[in-house]
Structure 1
Amino acid sequence: MNRKRSLLISLTAALLAGALVYGVYVLQVKQVELQQTVSILVPKSFIPSGTMITSDMVEAMPIVAGAFQEGMVTELSAIVGGEAVVPLGTQEPILQWKVDRFHLLPNRTQSTFHIPKEYILSLSGGIRAGDQVELYISGGEGESRQLFDRAITVASVKSSANIEVDNPKNSNLTSKLNSDAERMYASRREANGTIDQINLNLTGEEWLTIDGYCKTKKAKLVIALTASYALGEDNLRKP
């Protein structure tokens, strides 16, 4: 009995020792993995919302693998040519949801609405397709005020001839015929000309609100670029 007990104790001790060694090994492997680095992309300097991102705006920054989160961008091809949906801070990890490649298009809850000229009191002359604007209501009952608590995306701007205000160096129509969506989008962002008509991406409820105020002609819209665009005008409007 004593011999069997001794064998059982020895076997148990050996199993416990083996489990301890394995546990230490697993911890060491995890520690090594955590110490490994992953290169992610970050802005070299502050990028205002609405800016089209180019390769010279970002740089690679190593972080420990344990700090890497799903959605962090590691490849230039994933963001170059895209548009910053929100402001991006210096050295801030760029997440995929913060960059939209075709932000001119309405989302699932929106449609693109033409804003009648008679609804507009004032329209910032520097507005282009893809800009973020704020809508204010002027006149009618009550004081003038901001209409919505969010910025609105400009889908397109047109001239008095009902022609898309375009980039003369890179025609939007030519890019469309060549099925070059990237260049077509870029040409709309770099458009230049006198604005006569404007189309906005709005929800149905937002459009009904605008129509409700303006159809009586007692109130009109003031359409203004957001502060982030005004501050980043030099960077956003390079010829």
Structure 2
Amino acid sequence: MRILRRRNAMISLTAAVLSASLVYGMYELQRNQIELDDTIAIIVPKRFIGAGERLKESDLEFKMLPKAAYVSDMISKLEHAAGKETIIPLGQGEPLLHWKVDDYYFQPKRSESTFQIPKEYIRSISNGIRAGDKVMIYASGEAAPSMRIFSEAVTVASVKSSGNVEIDSIENPNLFSLAEGNKQQMYASRREANGMIDYLNLNLSEEQWLQLDDLCKAGELKLVVAYSPESLNLAVGEEGDRS
């Protein structure tokens, strides 16, 4: 009998512990659900990001924010931030706002400056190049093999005629189409634009400019500036991302 009573006591104690655990588990589940209902996930940087940097998915993460603190300008979808450039520096963990990033930001990055490329340095420029485009830079000479100078494409700050006028289509400016991600209109703008490029300005780092200048100043090598499809791919990939 004593063994039976002891067994019953253990069963009762186990049942009480299981019941208490179940009640506590249900309480935690309900509390977590209430917290989820009262919060919203927003995008924040994982690290400090300087102005002019292009955001990567690895730079970003989600952060739960009380709905009462949420404002409509906060970005809550990863695809609305990844691939865009920062207009101002971003602190780690701060809410990412739409006005702090842009699809195409033509100002040089923090590590860059805008350099006007001397005309005598240039052998040829693709006629379709416009401000905001990405271009590949090659060096070409009679006594030396041609080569690509930079592994990555660089950004065109402006292309102007001899009258210091930006070359573009008057009726359908390329910049408007570029900002809207309209690839068909971008193509049409390049077809309609008319003018010889006399001045080319590129956003380069100091190291890039010194490398380019060192190659070309003797006159043996000159630059070939080629339009990069990255410009069009960015516009197509980001089309419709604006909210």
TM interval, shorter chain, is: 0.5 to 0.7
Q: Secondary structure of the equivalent of 2:128?
A: coil
Partner of 1:114: 116
Q: How many equivalent pairs are there? A: 172
Specify whether residues 233 and 165 from structure 1 end up closer, same or farther in structure 2 by C-alpha distance, changes over 3 A only: same
Partner of 1:156: 158
Question: Does 2:122 correspond to 1:130?
Answer: no
Distance in 2, Cα, partners of 1:233 & 1:14: 63
Distance in 2, Cα, partners of 1:95 & 1:11: 55
Distance in 2, Cα, partners of 1:146 & 1:165: 26
Distance in 2, Cα, partners of 1:25 & 1:233: 49
Question: Does 2:62 correspond to 1:70?
Answer: yes
Deviation at 1:130, TM superposition (A): 0.4
The alignment yields a C-alpha RMSD, in angstroms, of 4.7
For the Cα contact (< 8 Å) 1:132–1:154, is it kept in 2?
yes
Partner of 1:51: none
Q: Secondary structure of the equivalent of 2:107?
A: coil
Specify whether residues 233 and 99 from structure 1 end up closer, same or farther in structure 2 by C-alpha distance, changes over 3 A only: closer
2:84 aligned partner, one-letter code: V
Partner of 1:20: 22
Specify whether residues 22 and 233 from structure 1 end up closer, same or farther in structure 2 by C-alpha distance, changes over 3 A only: closer
Deviation at 1:143, TM superposition (A): 1.4
Specify whether residues 231 and 221 from structure 1 end up closer, same or farther in structure 2 by C-alpha distance, changes over 3 A only: same
Specify whether residues 202 and 142 from structure 1 end up closer, same or farther in structure 2 by C-alpha distance, changes over 3 A only: same
2:28 aligned partner, one-letter code: V
Partner of 2:201: 199
Question: Does 2:91 correspond to 1:99?
Answer: no
For the Cα contact (< 8 Å) 1:158–1:198, is it kept in 2?
yes
Partner of 1:56: none
Q: Secondary structure of the equivalent of 1:98?
A: coil
For the Cα contact (< 8 Å) 1:159–1:193, is it kept in 2?
no
Partner of 1:219: 221
Deviation at 1:162, TM superposition (A): 1.6
Identity of aligned residues (%): 44
1:70 aligned partner, one-letter code: F
Deviation at 1:163, TM superposition (A): 1.9
For the Cα contact (< 8 Å) 2:156–2:200, is it kept in 1?
yes
Deviation at 1:229, TM superposition (A): 4.5
Distance in 1, Cα, partners of 2:234 & 2:82: 21
Deviation at 1:165, TM superposition (A): 2.4
2:79 aligned partner, one-letter code: I
TM-score w.r.t. length of structure 2: 0.54
1:96 aligned partner, one-letter code: A
Q: Which deviates further from its counterpart, 11-20 or 155-164? A: 11-20
Long gaps (5+) in structure 1: 1-5, 41-68, 80-91, 173-181
Deviations for 1:139-198, whole angstroms, at most 9, x for unmatched residues? 1664111101101000111011122225524889xxxxxxxxx97x959x8683322211
Long gaps (5+) in structure 2: 1-7, 43-60, 64-70, 86-101, 181-185, 238-243
Deviations for 1:23-62, whole angstroms, at most 9, x for unmatched residues? 145347768999xxx9x9xxxxxxxxxxxxxxxxxxxxxx
2:194 aligned partner, one-letter code: G
Deviation at 1:133, TM superposition (A): 0.3
Deviations for 1:196-237, whole angstroms, at most 9, x for unmatched residues? 2110000001001111011111100000011344789999xx
For the Cα contact (< 8 Å) 2:130–2:168, is it kept in 1?
no
Q: Secondary structure of the equivalent of 2:23?
A: helix
